[in-house]
Amino acid sequence: MTRWGILATGHIAGRFAEDLRLVPGAELVAVGSRTRESAERFAARHGARRAYASWAELAADADLDVVYVATPHAAHHAAALTCLRAGRAVLLEKPFTLDLATSRELVDAARAAGVFLMEAMWMRTNPLVRRMCELIADGAIGAVTSVRADFGAAGEFPPEHRMRARALGGGALLDLGVYPVSLAHLLLGVPDHVRSWAKVSPEGVDENTGIVFGYDSGAVATLSCGMVGATPLVASITGTGGRIDLPEPFFRPGSMTLHRDGAEPETVTTELVGNGYQYEAEEVQRCLAAGLPESPLVPHSVTLEVMALLDGIRAQIGVDYT
């Protein structure tokens, strides 16, 4: 049995707790929050045995095998570091932190302590995404030449909302753009050239952002993210011998369409249950059982490379969080 703790009590934490019930061998033992009332409400709703009024109290619970950190991302570094220093394995919600430097600090802390750490980039653990990577590796569409992906959300976010608060790491890029960037990285690796543009809000965060990755191989990735309108949330991967289309939402697909040159389109489907977070929990438990310090599906190197890309994009569009 893998004994889980959850640090934070917001919407994503709740969805993760729901999916944890679907994971064989998983048990939600404790929850921690900044207030006892919030922790107790969450524990009662999701069946956790203990509720703590601080991050430190949760991290000190020696009965926990791993803690899922689901705070707003401006608090990721401090919350995860608290758990790692207490010897707790950590599944840390994306984006890992606000920048590469603090992400490196977490990776270094985990390695020094010999404690498991993984970014909760659930897209990389999704069964269809993994199947897509297998098909591409087997040459189903030839060499990848183009990746297109978008993630735009509609919403009237007031100036005080976390999406517009610079001090909280607001803006579209870290919250939404991390998905298109991660998909391009998954399929093409680190680009040789990056060009970005954004409409920056009066609060100093990006509202609508376009990104182009260029590769010396000739491949390109055209990506976008925004919080000024709902985009299709789809992705398309083109190769020298065909194309794969991922439907909405591309980061949690239940199907994909494979277009091989000269053949009828093939639809590949899988039955997705729950909210889709159980796959990352299963990967954590698999790694812990095997004694691995990091996940081969979401290794530290990938997390740091994506964070470096996000830092570079922010520099180009003029967004900082200091």
Can you say how many angstroms the Cα of residue 299 is from the centroid of all Cα atoms in its chain?
12
- Cα 46 from Cα 29, distance rounded (Å): 10
**Residues whose CB falls within 8 Å of the CB of residue 178, separated by 6 or more in sequence, listed in order:** 94, 95, 121, 306, 310
Q: Which of 50, 73, 77, 94 does the annotation list as catalytic?
A: 94
Phi, psi (rounded to 5 degrees) for 79: -65, -45
Listing DSSP states for 18-66 in one string gives HHHTTSTTEEEEEEE-SSHHHHHHHHHHHT-SEEESSHHHHHT-TT-SE
- Residue 141 is which amino acid? I
Reduced to 3 states (helix: H, G, I; strand: E, B; else coil), residue 208 is strand
- Residue 266 is which amino acid? E
Paired tokens of 84 = 């790692």
Please identify which residue in the block is written with the tokens 């191989």: 217
Whether 199 is catalytic: no
- Cα 295 from Cα 286, distance rounded (Å): 9
Paired tokens of 143 = 């060499």
CA distances from 309 to 100, 177, 190, 256, 305 (A): 9, 11, 8, 27, 6
**Residues whose CB falls within 8 Å of the CB of residue 85, separated by 6 or more in sequence, listed in order:** 59, 109, 113
Active site residues: 94
